[in-house]
Chain A
């Protein structure tokens, strides 16, 4: 396959940045999207150019490092898929593909497609934890947890913090991320003592970071590679109003 890429290039955080066009030839349909970029980068290095910077780590779809807006959609149009698990067979030969970083004021661009997601870390630091000496793992049946709660908590816990929800939200809101963490801890017995203070602290930190407000568009959950459901946001609102 041959592709035309339009990639966002930005040398430094202060650089103005621009879209640059690249032709990539002989792309195998079995390559992942990141492997396709690796091939382009090897050529750029051989030609003495600066390779395109992008975040990646596990390349198994579970670490949350990778992420780029492909043709206007966070992680590309393939549903419930991280960029690293997106394969080139989903693209047509000869297609033009636009690649941009997550766009949000709280996620400043570091270089090219790499953004600084420390804002998420600060939201977690504000309350996304359980302050009890956990010790060794207790017996699984020592504290009974309702099956529905366990399932919902586990669904929320699959959030990998990639930031696609923010990138896709027309309001630049981080509600789905924050809600996933609040729901995950708030539904389990260990999370109960700090449930109210956690919801308040994390939502306040989210607003402080400069993320937008939620208007229930549902764009976040549609692009989420882990399919975090929208009702986590209702759970967050419930806990926040109670706090």
Chain B
């Protein structure tokens, strides 16, 4: 959980930085998308770096889900008889209780997100459209349900990271009593920065700041 989660968080940081290039205009964004496909040329063939990143991400996502499913199955095997009284949470924290269903929401979101903006099969601009046009047409005001789904999924992602980021340090034995507070502050800060960064693009398009 912790190692694959860390890989995915590092990717998200790079992803959000790239997204924000849209605020520099269509050309800058399309050039950036072009650069991603040709980085390292001519030392390596086109798409080498991008394909490597895709493979690492796919493996991380699969192992992350495999760990989650294993933990969930072990948990239900460890408690075959449930409590009759409603279990009241005694620890603080809401985010921790969203990890499992939140993870499923995020998975559904990733599938839609790939179909929408990577393969563009469900995007109005279509596979032939330039990356900038796919974004602007995909989050156009009349496609508000799509934008809403992005907002919900990103909030779930924020909650997921709120627990996941500090939890990874705990799992890897890198945390101790003194570092819990700073780690949790970092977890909240990173979640907020990522969620707001990601949300800025679809919201900016939906309200017409970016056309």
Number of residues in A with C-beta < 8 Å to the partner? 44
Q: Closest CB-CB distance, A237 to chain B, in whole Å?
A: 4
Q: Indicate if the CB atoms of B177 and A231 lie closer than 8 Å.
A: yes
Within 8 A of A (CB), among B74-120: 74-75, 77-93, 96-97, 99
Q: Indicate if the CB atoms of B84 and A98 lie closer than 8 Å.
A: yes
A39 within 8 Å of B (CB atoms): no
Q: A103-B83, A105-B80, A215-B96 are in contact. Are A223 and B75 (CB under 8 A)?
A: no
Contact of B88 among A73, A105, A230 (CB under 8 A): A73
Q: Indicate if the CB atoms of A212 and B177 lie closer than 8 Å.
A: no
Encoded as 1 (CB less than 8 Å from any A CB) or 0, chain B from 58 to 84 comes to 000000000000110011011111111
User: Chain B residues with Cβ under 8 A from A84's Cβ?
Assistant: none
Q: Indicate if the CB atoms of B177 and A69 lie closer than 8 Å.
A: no
Q: Closest CB-CB distance, A78 to chain B, in whole Å?
A: 11
Interface residues on B, range: 35 or more
Q: A216-B170, A231-B180 are in contact. Are A173 and B78 (CB under 8 A)?
A: yes
Q: Indicate if the CB atoms of A218 and B83 lie closer than 8 Å.
A: no
A19 within 8 Å of B (CB atoms): yes
Q: With A and B bound together, what is the CA distance between A230 and B90 in angstroms?
A: 14
Q: Indicate if the CB atoms of A219 and B91 lie closer than 8 Å.
A: yes
B51 within 8 Å of A (CB atoms): no
A72 within 8 Å of B (CB atoms): yes
Q: Indicate if the CB atoms of B78 and A105 lie closer than 8 Å.
A: yes
Q: With A and B bound together, what is the CA distance between A231 and B171 in angstroms?
A: 10
Chain B interface residues toward A at CB < 8 A: 1, 70-71, 74-75, 77-93, 96-97, 99, 163, 166-167, 169-177, 180
Pairs across A and B, CB under 8 Å, 29 listed: A69-B85, A72-B88, A73-B87, A77-B90, A100-B84, A104-B78, A105-B79, A170-B87, A171-B79, A172-B78, A172-B79, A173-B75, A173-B78, A212-B71, A212-B77, A213-B70, A213-B75, A215-B71, A216-B170, A217-B97, A219-B91, A229-B177, A230-B180, A233-B170, A234-B175, A234-B176, A235-B173, A236-B173, A241-B172
